[in-house]
Structure 1
Amino acid sequence: MSSSQRSGPPTSARNGPLRVIGGSIRRLYTDATKLDRTQSDPVVAGRNALGLVIPLAIGGLLGHPGLGVQSAIGALQTAFADRPGPYRLRMARMLTSALAAGLTAALAAGFGHSLALSALLLAVCAFSAGLLVMFGPSAAQVGVAATGCALILGHIPERPLAAIDTGLLVFAGGVVQMLLAITAWPLRRHGPERRALAGLYRELADLAAEPIDSSVSPPLGETIAQTRAVLTGAGRDHGPSVEAYRVLLDEAVRARQDILALSAYADRLEVDGNSASAATLYDALTTAASVLARIADALAAGRTPGEREYRETLEIASGIGRSEVLGESLTERAAADRRASLVSQLRAMVQTARTGAGEGSTDEDVESAKGVRRLRDPIAVLRANLDVRSPALRYAVRLGVLVPLTDILTRVGGFDRGYWISLTILVVLRPDFGATFQRSLQRVIGTLIGLLLASVIVHYLLGDGVAPLILLVGIFFFGMRLAGPNNMGLSSICLSALVVALLSIAGIPAHTTVVDRAVATVIGGAIALLASLLFPTWERSQVADRLTELMGAYRDYLQTMVDPRATAAQRSSVRSRSRLARSNAEASLDRARSEPVNSQGILEVGGAVLANSHRLVHALTAIDATRRARDAYRDVPQFRDLVTAVLQQLHLLQGALQGEEIKEKSTLRRFQVELAAAYADLLPGVPIDRAAEYAYGATVIEATDRLVDSVDTITAVLHDAGDDLRLTTAGGDSA
């Protein structure tokens, strides 16, 4: 880096922290007013609202609204475990959540007379809830549900037998939610699987219909990961339909590679002035999009295509490129090979979709698959996170200390409904400061708005009628579920209003909860922020680690691609890990941008590395799409030398991201030129009807050119970052 570049601090630093904080507040407002439709489903929200209203209505009809409120607590907590997935998995997840909520509710009510036992129960629940984040949102929700029940019902002590009754009521409310969630199971056993695949195929059709920019992250990665989780999660069924769904997923992954490659070839041909061949490829992609859309429609509707429709769709897929012969240039030969591959994928999709779309038309074997290895061993994951450097462990310790400590202090101090302080900490506190900062402010502001809104409605408009209050609870819970888990602002407005209505049903006047809960929420949010500042996990200190993992994942991807011993399951697993690593890196950069501290240096470096890594993975995907990388690695010395050099350079990039020095330039380009020369000697004079046999060489020349360019650019970025990057990585968690 030149001396002129080092002559002064960054612009953002010269302008002081106010500009950084101002940017964080602007992003906070944007997040608070944004409704993420990908994280919400009106049908699920309506179903959960009904599940909350049912126990309240039963309690009201029996003349015991307080019992209905206790059961509604279980329904409310269990609703958050109603996530997409197979019905069997959804049932197991929701039953587990309901059981955990009911068990801790009984213990909390029974221990309520003892301050020490209540604190011990809260410490165990809160610490466990913190550790469960390492296993994903579904597991974390079970922990939050159990701790929330313990907090609320621990302030309503009961005798042992009455405490058991309370636990059973809470569990019963959760069971009601679970039954509503799986109502369609006997009729449409695989509805979630079909809908997930239909969504994937629609996005795949859109991908084929629209030009793709290779400078951005390859699309559909998140959708593929979510669909795979639905199809292969614990508790899955087995049988003809489900096996067809898994085949359709695998075919979609391979077709995505072909579509990305064909789109890149079409763009290259257009730039080179070969508009005719480019138009031919665009036409092929458009036709492919129509076939994919038909498959998506059949999956969404759950119907088996008729014989005429099936034959028509199969003929459309088979006819792609049949009468359009491409030229003899390197790009055209490679494109012809990819087009033929895509046609093969489309034919297989059409044939497989006949079984998958018409679920239930044949008897299905539901025996468990044998010999299936779990990709993530829970014991190994837990052991890896039992380290003071683990954000999950630090988060668990914070919760395990703060939740019971604040509950003890509010009990001793006689703070009316002081458990809302602990509950706010439980909901707001996150493993990193950026998320805690955003959630704290959004929850405080949302809570104040919700309290005022509901208090006015209940106190001045509805009065003491139970039926209108129950309806109001359903409306607010619908809004809360529709807002989704990522929008703490809207969720807090609805949750606060919902609590006011619930307490009114239980006999606590609406206006008496406003001030107490508002003060408790502000205090809880402030404590959560203070805890993050005293023992911070700044996301800016994690960016380099996430990028290191990304380079490692891409290195493993390339290594597995050329390994002759790698199985299909291993290749699928390494692709999934690459998508996950890319998602984690992107999310880490987004969170770092929200922190009210100066992290401009690492953000600029991280953004540049991530942008160029998109081109890197596009190149890897193009090579992988040929399904012949292992043969080339074995038979072509120049390809083997280049792959070895790229693997070594990616390893050096991992070290550079951790603060090690790196040379400004690599020798990759020399290896790529030698490889291109070796393949070019094979191509001249080859008849067009044998183009597919040698098209792999053209693909390799195209893809390795992009691969080397992207790796060299990342190398230059990290070399120029120099001391700035080393200072950032060495700084650890210091603010």
Structure 2
Amino acid sequence: MGATRAAAGNWLSRALAPSREPLPWLGAARAAVAFGTVTAVALALDEPRAGLLAAAGMVLATMRPDIGPYRSRALGLAASQLAGAAGLVVGQFAHGHGWGTVTATTAVALLSGLVSSIGTIASGASLALLFMNVIGTGLPGPGEWWLPPLFQLAGGAFYIVLAVLSWRPWRHRPGPEHRAVADVYGRAADLVDAAPHPGGARTALSMAVDTAQDALMCHRVRDKKHWGEETRWLVAMLNAATPLLEALTLLIRSARPAPPGLAEAVRRIADAVRSGNRDAGTAPFRGDPAFARPVEFARLRLSEAHPEDPDWLGLPRPLPARAYRAARMALTSAAAWRYGLRLALCMAIASAFVEFPGVLHDLWIPTVHSLWLPLTVAVVLKPDFGSVFVRSLLRAVGTVAAAVPTLLVLVAVPRGWAAVPLAALFGGLIPVLKARSYAMRTVAVTPLMLFLFDMTSPQPSDELVLARLSDTLLGCLIVMVFGYALWPWSRRVRIGERFTAGFGALADYLDEAFTGPRNVRARDRRALHRSLDAVRADLREVQSEPPPAGRAGAAWWPVLGALDALVDTVTAASVKVRGGAEPPPRRAARAISADLREMAAAVRDGRPPRTPRLPGPSGEGVLGEAAVQIRRLHRTLPL
């Protein structure tokens, strides 16, 4: 954990460091074909503005993550296109109305900010809504009001067709869901190899379970009784990993090496799940019975035609209940309103500059394509792209880095059919560079959008690039001042909320760990791990903030480490009790649970927690070590 805190100090190098993920060459080829084809069709029909709108729809699609189950990818692409079309229609009707345009843009921005809190697909759709709304308010549409959204949807649909063809979901072969569940067993084998010093293997395993659970259960419209046989089998295999994960918790807590052959036995199960081979004929593990039982449990599930395992991970609620919960979250979440108001304020300022260009003219800022100003604000202030401060900085740097070579290309290459290979080149760069970092994402999108606008603009190319550069820098300045500097406690509040939820989830788990049914305990523990993974993700995001926010975030890392250790201790105690150990006195469990809720309230209120009233070691039984860790946790809280 010390290395993580040390890395938090070098926030700029962390922000600029490129990702080591494999480059998506298939996605690059798909984008190159899509943008090249649309540009060629637009030139052949002499409809550059229609081509620009179609390309905008494809930009929305290329910015979507190309990971996860096919249904989630397709739903994300479709939702973004429909939301973008709605935003484009609203923007057209608001175009050229002065303060009416500013009001409409502000309202759309507030709605976009609230919807962003629901989930990843809603977040992408909200960005598309705002993105296309800005284009609608900034550019007069070609013809009737319904033509621009039709062109945008046509471009997006073309890209979706190419995406589906590249996924080939009709193949009767294992898909992303198989890989996600297999990764759980693979990460479990990695943890076995790492014992007795797990390092990051424990966190990787927890995140793999999160990913697999999302892959199997998120965005499902039909209920369990209508699931396919393969889905039921995968859910059963994911559930079957639960006893193994509990046994591995005991292994790590014991600080002893893993039994020989255990990792290989778990990897054989992972390979069978990854290939979808239910008749893999994996050999049983003959070692320590404490591990042989959970491995055999999972191994036998491989060949079961209709496994009926208990619901240990939690099945999704009915669709109406999920929709109601999402709507309530968007309308009642304090974090959603904070973000929505920040976004609405910044977009109102940017839109006012565009609608009243005399202000920009007095500041000597060219406005050839001033819609870049609100576009910059919308993209930079997106909450799940990372730190607002760092995104503002990196977008400015990325735009400057891309503007000069783009200017040279636009000046050197005449307008016309030479645009086709250039559009294919610039479009193909987006998936490759966006996978590396946010700055490279900007470097990729900037030349493509400049190039597309150059096709429709009567202005000289050098003025277009200069306007793009100045509007981007001004947009970043607006975000830095009105979206960041005026909200100095926004990051700390979010971390506090995450930790409050983590303390509360651990208290809920402790209430059921020794007395509740096993399926309830398993679901509570899974919810607890998801909560702590969210805390971990937030802390990593804060690491890229400059001081003092980065230092404040680093101060919470020891708290997360203590919480992780406490979760493992309670889990190990629960497994021991199921194995025959004497359960702890109810008063001991209740005292620790009450103290966790007190710490949650202290974090929420920003005050030191009250002194815990815990029984002595002789009255705590298997929770003796947990009580010691609770006292240590009190000392680590930076309150």
Instruction: Give the shorter-chain TM-score range.
Output: 0.7 to 0.9
Asked if the contact 1:97/1:146 (under 8 Å) is kept, the reply is: yes
Please tell me whether residue 221 in structure 1 is matched to residue 206 in structure 2: yes
Asked if the contact 2:33/2:424 (under 8 Å) is kept, the reply is: yes
- 1:669 paired residue among 596, 617, 620: 617
Among the aligned pairs, what percent are the same residue? 21
Q: Could you report, residue by residue, the CA deviation over 1:584-635 in whole angstroms, capped at 9, with x for unpaired residues? A: 3223333444444435885465222212112112223334556938x97xxx
2:170 aligned partner, one-letter code: P
Matched, 1:548 2:467: no
Q: Which residue of 2 aligns with 1:271?
A: none
Offset at residue 293 of structure 1 (A): 4.3
Whole-Å separation in 1 of the counterparts to 2:252 and 2:487:
48
Query: Which residue does 1:525 correspond to in 2?
Result: 476
**Pick from 491, 495, 499: which aligns with 2:445?**
495
1:554–1:617 contact (8 Å) kept in structure 2: yes
2:140 maps to 157
CA distance in 1, matches of 2:120, 2:385: 18
Partner of 1:101: 84
- Go from structure 1 to structure 2 and tell me whether the alpha carbon gap of 1:603 and 1:130 turns closer, same or farther (over 3 Å shift): closer
2:197 and 2:441 map into 1 onto residues whose CA distance is 36
Q: Which residue of 2 aligns with 1:650?
A: 596
Contact 1:108 1:150 (C-alpha < 8 Å) held by counterparts: yes
Contact 1:501 1:510 survives alignment (8 Å): no
| C-alpha deviation, 1:143, in angstroms | 1.2
Q: How far did residue 517 of structure 1 move?
A: 1.0
Shift of 1:190: 6.3
Aligned counterparts of 2:35 and 2:583: Cα–Cα separation in 1: 66
State the distance in 1 between where 2:391 and 2:231 align.
Answer: 39
Work out the CA distance in 2 between the residues paired with 1:465 and 1:26: 47
Aligned to 1:87: 70
Tell me whether 1:598 sits opposite 2:551 in the alignment. no
CA drift at 1:263? 4.4
Match of 1:713 among 626, 632, 637: 632
Residues 433-482 of structure 1 deviation map (CA, whole Å, 9 limit, x = unaligned): 9811111000000011111122223433x443534x33333333333333
Answering whether residue 393 of structure 2 is matched by residue 438 of structure 1, we say no
Shift of 1:223: 1.9
Pairwise mapping of residues 95-494 of structure 1 onto structure 2 (< 5 A)? 95-158=78-141, 162-183=144-165, 184-188=168-172, 191-213=175-197, 218-235=203-220, 238-265=227-254, 267-268=255-256, 278=257, 281-299=258-276, 304=277, 310-311=280-281, 313=282, 316=283, 318-321=284-287, 336-351=288-303, 372-373=317-318, 377-383=322-328, 386=331, 390-413=334-357, 415-430=367-382, 435-460=387-412, 462-467=413-418, 469-484=419-434, 487-494=437-444
CA separation in 2, counterparts of 1:371 and 1:540?
31
Q: How many residues are matched?
A: 610
Which amino acid in the other structure matches residue 502 of structure 1? L
What is the one-letter code of the residue matched to 1:515? L
8 Å Cα contact 2:434-2:444 kept in structure 1: no
| Structure 2 CA distance for partners of 1:31 and 1:282, relative to 1, 3 Å | farther
Contact 1:204–1:292 (CA under 8 A) maintained in structure 2: no
Q: Is the 8 A contact 2:95 2:101 kept in 1?
A: yes
Pairwise CA distance, 1:92: 3.1
Please say if 1:539 is aligned against 2:491.
Answer: yes
Larger deviation, residues 373-382 vs 190-199: 373-382
Say which SS state the counterpart of residue 302 (structure 2) adopts: helix
Change (3 A) 1:43 1:616: farther
Q: Does 1:31 align with 2:15?
A: yes
Shift of 1:179: 1.9
Q: Give the counterpart letter for 1:171 in structure 2.
A: L
Q: How does 1:680-699 map to 2 (within 5 A)?
A: none
> Structure 1 residue 344: deviation in Å?
2.1
Task: Answer with 376-385 or 175-184: which moved more.
Answer: 376-385
Deviations 1:113-139 (A, max 9, x none): 433553343223211211122112221
Equivalents in 2 of 1:207, 1:545: separation in Å?
30
Asked if 2 retains the 8 angstrom alpha-carbon contact of 1:82 and 1:181, the reply is: no
Distance of 2:594 and 2:189 partners within structure 1: 37
Alignment partners' CA distance in 2, 1:293 and 1:213: 22
Secondary structure of the equivalent of 1:416?
A: coil
Match of 2:171, SS? coil
Cα distance in structure 2, aligned partners of 1:588 and 1:613: 15
Quick check: 1:122–1:150 contact (8 Å CA) kept in 2? yes
Secondary structure at 2:85 match in 1: helix
Q: Which residue identity does 2:334 align to in structure 1?
A: S
Taking structure 1 as reference, are residues 57 and 344 closer, same or farther at Cα in structure 2, changes over 3 Å only? same
For the residues of structure 2 that align with 1:190 and 1:169, how far apart are their CA atoms? 35
Work out which of the residue numbers 61, 66, 85 in structure 2 matches 1:78.
61
Structure-2 change in CA distance of 1:54 and 1:617 (3 Å): farther
Partners of 2:31 and 2:62 within 8 A in 1: yes
Q: Distance in 1 between matches of 2:320 and 2:523?
A: 8
Say whether the 8 Å CA contact 1:458–1:510 is kept in structure 2.
yes
Q: Distance in 1 between matches of 2:550 and 2:377?
A: 29
- The alignment status of 1:582 with 2:532, answered yes or no, reads yes
Structure 1: runs of 5 or more not aligned: 1-19, 269-277, 322-335, 357-369, 676-700, 726-735
1:652 aligned partner, one-letter code: E
Shift in CA distance, 380/263, structure 1 to aligned 2, threshold 3 Å: closer
Aligned equivalents of 2:259, 2:454: Cα separation in 1: 62
**Paired residues of 1:124 and 1:400 also in contact (CA < 8 A):** yes
Deviation at 1:355, TM superposition (A): 9.2
Partners in 1 of 2:544 and 2:81 — Cα distance? 35
Instruction: Give 1:144 shift.
Output: 0.9
Give the equivalent residue in structure 2 for 1:56: 39
Of residues 494, 504, 517, the one that matches 2:454 is 504
CA contact (8 A) 1:100 1:146 kept: yes
SS at match of 2:500: helix
| Structure of larger gyration radius | 1
In 2, Cα distance between equivalents of 1:484 and 1:705: 49
Contact 1:87 1:190 in 2 (8 A): no
The TM-score with structure 2 as length reference comes to 0.85
